[in-house]
Amino acid sequence: MTIDTEALKKSNPVIAAAANLEETFWFNPKFTPEGFEKITQVTTDQIKDASDRLQRFAPYLAHVFPELAETKGIIESPVVETTEMKKFLNENFGADITGRLMLKKDSDLPVAGSVKARGGIHEVLKHAEDLAIEAGKLSLTDDYTKLASPEMVKFFSQYTVQVGSTGNLGMSIGIMSAKIGFTVIVHMSADAKEWKKNLLRSRGVQVVEYQDDYGAAVDEGRRNSDKDPMSYFVDDENSQPLFMGYAVAAERLQKQLSEQNIAVDEDHPLFVYIPCGIGGAPGGVTYGLKSIYGKNVHCFFTEPTHACCMMLGMASGLHDGISVNDIGIDGKTEADGLAVGRPSAFVGKVIEPVLSGVATIEDVRLYGLMRALLDTEGTFIEPSSCAGYGCLIRPEDMKRYYEEQGLTDKVDNITHIVWATGGRMVPQEMRDKYLTMGL
């Protein structure tokens, strides 16, 4: 199919701005407060299924990862108030945030150090569970610590798991699969950072490197896996187990907010900002949040100007039928976790009725925001994660949204949550280097 990009740009000023690499903010014309009712491709039973699975595996996870002993095998991160960062954004960007500003620290998620510890680990566990049950070696009511036995590790070692990644997905799939006992091959795009490849190799993961972008690494991984009947491919472009692993975040957040006595209701809206690559992580979290909070939660994605694939897919209505290359931009960004040129084949369609909008942000700004968060709150998150601030630094657009949604008299009651998606495992020398970069 040929795409008439000139017509697209003419019909939509946001696409024209994106093609010019200008920062922009797209409001989703298909968003409605009650949009959740319109979603038919997936169901909330699937979230429950993922949540129950993570619960079944919790004793196993606590057993094999000492860092999970304290939470009894639940992989979770804190959500914290960031008053000093709010001051910084208000003073330096005129952000005019009058409600509460919080940070969801998936940057600190144990085991894999990024939001991928939700979706990626869930999918590997599901695959292991399916295989073990099918072989008659496990039943749903068993104590799953038995999966760590030498006999089970040997059983799993006959099987291979493969994935294409810009880095963090490979880390999560690689670390978890290697622990289960699977043979793991991670196909890394050119964007992937060297330290991530080295860390994986140190855990016995085979890392294949490509001089090409993410889409190419995924294609090669899929091809390689399809040739081997014992191999399973984690398909970031289509995977529902990934999506549902991310969606479980919502019920956990709900519990955390209520423990902190933070209300989310008609008079106290929740605004959530999530960095987006292919769309699985932010899409899954959004789907989960909408299933719980309905019209009282407003979800936004943020993307690098050079890799704004979800915005382009949704604004054009073409979804995975268009890539950023089609509008003449390169998909290259320092935000390695977001370096994706073509969006997921299903996420954009699922969230079309419920996503409020997408903002883009220039790479150079990510470092300044990273330093600001470190200075004001003592919290380090990786540059990709900092894209989450891309909406709040555009106060005029936010104001327009409040007006359009009739929220102007409620802005003081809004809880804003920026979703920090990665950072924990970044080595100190990389952190030091990041501190010298950007604006």
User: CB-wise, 292 or 340, nearer to ligand PLP?
Assistant: 340
User: CB-wise, 58 or 366, nearer to ligand PLP?
Assistant: 366
281 touching ligand PLP, by CB under 6 A: yes
Identify the CA nearest to 192 among candidates 201, 182, 183, 184.
Answer: 201
Query: What residues does 120 pair with on adjacent strands?
Result: none
Q: Which stretch binds ligand PLP (CB under 6 A): 111-119, 248-256, 265-273, 431-439?
A: 111-119
Q: Which stretch binds ligand PLP (CB under 6 A): 13-21, 129-137, 173-181, 277-285?
A: 277-285
Q: How far apart are the C-alpha atoms of 429 and 195, rounded to whole Å?
A: 10
Q: Can you tell me which residue has the tokens 């991984």?
A: 221
276 touching ligand PLP, by CB under 6 A: yes
Q: Which secondary structure element, helix H or strand E, spans residue 86, and what is its range?
A: helix 83-93
Distance of closest approach, residue 279 Cβ to ligand PLP, in angstroms? 5
Distance of closest approach, residue 337 Cβ to ligand PLP, in angstroms? 3
Which one of 35, 245, 269, 275 is in contact with ligand PLP (CB under 6 A)?
A: 275
338 touching ligand PLP, by CB under 6 A: yes
429-438 burial, b at 16+ Cβ within 10 Å, e below that, comes to eeeeebeeeb
CA distance to 63, 74, 144, 244, 332, per residue, from 139 (Å) = 19, 20, 9, 22, 46
Q: How far apart are the C-alpha atoms of 196 and 150, rounded to whole Å?
A: 28
Q: How far apart are the C-alpha atoms of 370 and 365, rounded to whole Å?
A: 9
15 touching ligand PLP, by CB under 6 A: no
Could you give the string, one character per residue 143-162, with x where binding to ligand PLP holds by CB under 6 A and - elsewhere?
A: --------------------
Distance of closest approach, residue 278 Cβ to ligand PLP, in angstroms? 4
User: CB-wise, 19 or 285, nearer to ligand PLP?
Assistant: 285
77 touching ligand PLP, by CB under 6 A: no
Q: Can you tell me which residue has the tokens 């949704």?
A: 314
**Taking CB under 6 A as the criterion, which residues in 180-219 touch ligand PLP?**
none
Q: Which secondary structure element, helix H or strand E, spans residue 271, and what is its range?
A: strand 270-275
Taking residue 343's Cβ as centre, other Cβ atoms within 10 Å add up to 31
278 touching ligand PLP, by CB under 6 A: yes
User: How many positions of this chain bind ligand PLP (CB under 6 A)?
Assistant: 21
Q: How far apart are the C-alpha atoms of 234 and 176, rounded to whole Å?
A: 13
Q: How far apart are the C-alpha atoms of 39 and 31, rounded to whole Å?
A: 12
User: CB-wise, 132 or 393, nearer to ligand PLP?
Assistant: 393
168 touching ligand PLP, by CB under 6 A: yes
Question: What is the contact surface with ligand PLP in residues (CB under 6 A)?
Answer: 114-116, 168-169, 275-282, 337-338, 340, 382, 384-385, 421-422
